[in-house]
Protein backbone atom coordinates (compact mmCIF):
# COMPACT_ATOMS: atom_id res chain seq x y z
CA UNK A 1 0.00 0.00 0.00
CA UNK A 2 1.08 3.54 -0.61
CA UNK A 3 1.07 6.44 1.79
CA UNK A 4 -0.83 8.57 -0.71
CA UNK A 5 -4.17 9.72 0.70
CA UNK A 6 -6.98 8.02 -1.21
CA UNK A 7 -8.67 11.33 -2.05
CA UNK A 8 -5.51 12.44 -3.88
CA UNK A 9 -5.16 9.32 -6.02
CA UNK A 10 -5.95 9.12 -9.69
CA UNK A 11 -8.43 6.48 -10.82
CA UNK A 12 -5.57 4.33 -12.06
CA UNK A 13 -3.63 4.56 -8.79
CA UNK A 14 -6.70 3.72 -6.71
CA UNK A 15 -7.65 0.81 -8.97
CA UNK A 16 -4.14 -0.66 -8.84
CA UNK A 17 -3.99 -0.45 -5.06
CA UNK A 18 -7.51 -1.86 -4.75
CA UNK A 19 -6.41 -4.89 -6.78
CA UNK A 20 -3.49 -5.39 -4.38
CA UNK A 21 -5.77 -5.10 -1.34
CA UNK A 22 -8.27 -7.60 -2.77
CA UNK A 23 -5.46 -10.02 -3.59
CA UNK A 24 -4.10 -9.85 -0.04
CA UNK A 25 -7.55 -10.38 1.46
CA UNK A 26 -8.30 -13.30 -0.87
CA UNK A 27 -5.06 -15.06 0.09
CA UNK A 28 -6.18 -14.97 3.71
CA UNK A 29 -2.65 -15.03 5.06
CA UNK A 30 -2.84 -11.75 6.99
CA UNK A 31 -3.69 -11.28 10.64
CA UNK A 32 -7.22 -10.27 11.60
CA UNK A 33 -6.25 -6.70 12.54
CA UNK A 34 -4.43 -6.25 9.25
CA UNK A 35 -7.40 -7.74 7.38
CA UNK A 36 -9.68 -5.14 8.95
CA UNK A 37 -7.27 -2.34 8.01
CA UNK A 38 -7.02 -3.68 4.46
CA UNK A 39 -10.82 -3.94 4.19
CA UNK A 40 -11.26 -0.35 5.36
CA UNK A 41 -8.62 0.88 2.89
CA UNK A 42 -10.28 -1.17 0.15
CA UNK A 43 -13.66 0.41 0.87
CA UNK A 44 -12.13 3.89 0.54
CA UNK A 45 -10.37 2.92 -2.68
CA UNK A 46 -13.58 1.47 -4.13
CA UNK A 47 -15.46 4.68 -3.36
CA UNK A 48 -12.68 6.75 -4.95
CA UNK A 49 -12.86 4.65 -8.13
CA UNK A 50 -16.65 4.94 -8.25
CA UNK A 51 -16.49 8.72 -7.72
CA UNK A 52 -13.88 9.15 -10.46
CA UNK A 53 -15.90 7.00 -12.89
CA UNK A 54 -19.03 9.03 -12.16
CA UNK A 55 -17.12 12.27 -12.74
CA UNK A 56 -15.79 10.96 -16.07
CA UNK A 57 -19.27 9.81 -17.14
CA UNK A 58 -20.66 13.25 -16.36
CA UNK A 59 -17.95 14.88 -18.47
CA UNK A 60 -18.73 12.58 -21.40
CA UNK A 61 -22.45 13.22 -21.03
CA UNK A 62 -21.80 16.98 -21.15
CA UNK A 63 -20.16 16.86 -24.60
CA UNK A 64 -22.45 18.39 -27.18
CA UNK A 65 -22.44 17.22 -30.80
CA UNK A 66 -23.53 18.91 -34.01
CA UNK A 67 -25.73 17.25 -36.63
CA UNK A 68 -22.75 15.36 -38.07
CA UNK A 69 -21.73 14.00 -34.66
CA UNK A 70 -18.76 16.35 -34.32
CA UNK A 71 -18.10 17.59 -30.79
CA UNK A 72 -18.92 21.30 -30.54
CA UNK A 73 -18.33 21.96 -26.88
CA UNK A 74 -19.81 21.07 -23.55
CA UNK A 75 -22.97 21.88 -21.73
CA UNK A 76 -23.24 22.43 -18.00
CA UNK A 77 -23.80 19.26 -16.01
CA UNK A 78 -26.82 19.47 -13.73
CA UNK A 79 -26.13 19.33 -10.01
CA UNK A 80 -22.53 20.49 -10.26
Residue 80 inside a domain? The answer is no
What pLDDT is stored for residue 2 in this prediction? 76
What is the per-residue pLDDT for 78?
Answer: 59
> HSE (CB half, 13 Å, CA atoms) of 7?
0
Residue 13 lies in a domain: yes
Query: Domain of 17?
Result: 6-74
Mean pLDDT for the stretch of residues 38-50: 97
Query: Is 43 part of any domain?
Result: yes
Measured distance CA(80)–CA(78) in Å, rounded: 6
CB atoms within 10 A of CB 17: 21
User: How many domains, in total, are found in the chain?
Assistant: 1
- Helix 11-27 and helix 32-61: axis angle, to 10°? 150
User: Cα torsion at 52, 58, 62, 65 (round to 10°)?
Assistant: 90
Q: What is the CATH number of the domain that holds 48?
A: 1.10.287.1040
Residue 1: inside a domain: no
Average pLDDT, the chain: 88
Q: Looking at 25-29, 56-60, 61-65, which range is the least confident one? A: 61-65
Amino acid sequence: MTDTPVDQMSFEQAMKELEIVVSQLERGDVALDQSITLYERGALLKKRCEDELKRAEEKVAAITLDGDGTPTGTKPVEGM
